[in-house]
Amino acid sequence: MPEFSGPQWCMRFPGSRLIDDLDPAWRSRVWAFVSVLQQGGAHVEVQATLRPPERAYLMHWCWMIAHLSQAPAAVPPMEGVPVDWTHGGDGKAARAAAMVEAFELQFLPSLSSRHIVGRAIDMSIVWDGRLSVRDFDGNPHYILTEPRDGSNPELINVGASFGVIKLATNQPHWSDDGR
Ligand SMILES: [Zn+2]
């Protein structure tokens, strides 16, 4: 029996915040990057790592309905996720918007997100003053430029040396291929 869409769905199919849940082939690179950041005095807070495909489905389609005029009846079903996007009345977009809020979404989540295969991480990175870090090859970098967060171009270059690539259009998101 399908159940109406709404924020109660956001508690199901929870995502991970643990670096250790990432793909083992990429995880060590993330650990290495995060370690040099922390040693350099940056504060790193991981918001998301591995995401079940069911969660990606719910995140994607609630945003589409709430913000991109997606017709609820045209949302493709997903096996194992008996959500009814089409229930009657005018509340459909409001329920989808409540899900967007509960998921704390700021961007349209991708159905083929690198999070699903454990090759993406959302994290906030901030520091005061100068950030002193070594890149993957051991070269020191003294980052004095602003902004003092994960969008800093010099920091993005250091991350790339570890194979942790920034997606420029999505503030907290890093992955193995920049998508
Ligand atoms: Zn992400």
> pTM above the 0.85 mark?
yes
Distance from Cα 19 to the centre of ligand 1, integer Å: 13
pLDDT in tens, 54-85: 999 999 999 999 999 999 989 999 999 999 99
Distance from Cα 33 to the centre of ligand 1, integer Å: 17
Distance from Cα 173 to the centre of ligand 1, integer Å: 4
pLDDT in tens, 130-157: 999 999 999 999 999 999 999 999 999 9
Distance from Cα 47 to the centre of ligand 1, integer Å: 9
Give CA–CA dist 140/123, Å, rounded. Answer: 23
Give CA–CA dist 146/104, Å, rounded. Answer: 26
- Find all residues with CB under 8 Å of 36, minimum gap 6, and list them: 133, 134, 135, 158
Distance from Cα 66 to the centre of ligand 1, integer Å: 20
